[in-house]
Amino acid sequence: MALPLPLLLVALLLPAARGAETPQYTTVHAESDFEVRLYRDTVWMSAPTPDIPSFHAATKLGFHRLFQYLMGANLNSSRIRMTTPVLTSVVPGAGPLHSSAYFVRLYLPVKFQASPPVPLPELNLHPDRWPSHCIAVRSFSGYARDNNVVEEAEKLAMSLSRSPWANSTKYPSKNAYSIAQYSSPFRFIGRINEVWFDVDCKSTGVETY
């Protein structure tokens, strides 16, 4: 069920054009180069891409499947408004020959959080319910590509190691890290990206919701 390229381009432009809905959070710690956010319980729609060895290619292909879901490729034929960020999670060792695997996710709008429309089977999508937890976040600009996302993740790891959150990164998580992209690919200046690490709130006394 491939969609014409012009429609895909319109969908990619929607977040920048309309101010898309994002998951709610509270900032519980902030420093000059990172912050820690406490996110509420959320539901995301996830597109696994286990056979794609590239972050950029996995994000592109995973988002295309998610876009079809938004445009009505679900059992309810529901049209779902675009949200941000587009989140690509990196799972080390889960791909072919122990390479990294990628999961591309979109946050579902509040309207669909309690009962997400069921995606058509051929899309190979599934809902992920995330409990309330803390995420360490580092922002970076430009385009998120294979040659810079690892570097940005390493910078966040270094910042955490020098902070009160140094012992918090052992939070049980399947993801090594995630890359959140908020900007249309056609926005060349002022692009907003983030690298996310799941961290243990309780190690610093922060209570989840």
Q: What is the pLDDT of residue 184?
A: 80
Is the pTM here over 0.85, yes or no? yes
- The type of residue at 161 is S
Q: What is the pLDDT of residue 15?
A: 47
Is residue 62 a contact partner of residue 47, using CB atoms and an 8 Å limit? yes
Phi and psi at residue 91, to the nearest 5°: -115, 105
Domain encompassing residue 134: 25-199
- 191 inside domain: yes
Helix (H) or strand (E) holding 158: helix 146-161
Q: Specify the pairing of strand 101-107 against strand 86-91.
A: antiparallel
Distance, in Å, from the CA atom of 42 to the CA atom of 75, rounded to the nearest integer, reads 21
What tokens does 26 get? 């509270």
- 53 inside domain: yes
- 150 inside domain: yes
Q: What is the pLDDT of residue 13?
A: 46
Helix (H) or strand (E) holding 62: helix 55-70
Q: What is the pLDDT of residue 3?
A: 44
Is residue 89 a contact partner of residue 74, using CB atoms and an 8 Å limit? no
Q: What is the pLDDT of residue 175?
A: 74
Ranges of the chain whose pLDDT falls below 50: 1-7, 9-18
The number of domains in the chain is 1
CATH code: domain of residue 43: 3.20.80.10
Q: What is the pLDDT of residue 97?
A: 56
Q: What is the pLDDT of residue 99?
A: 64
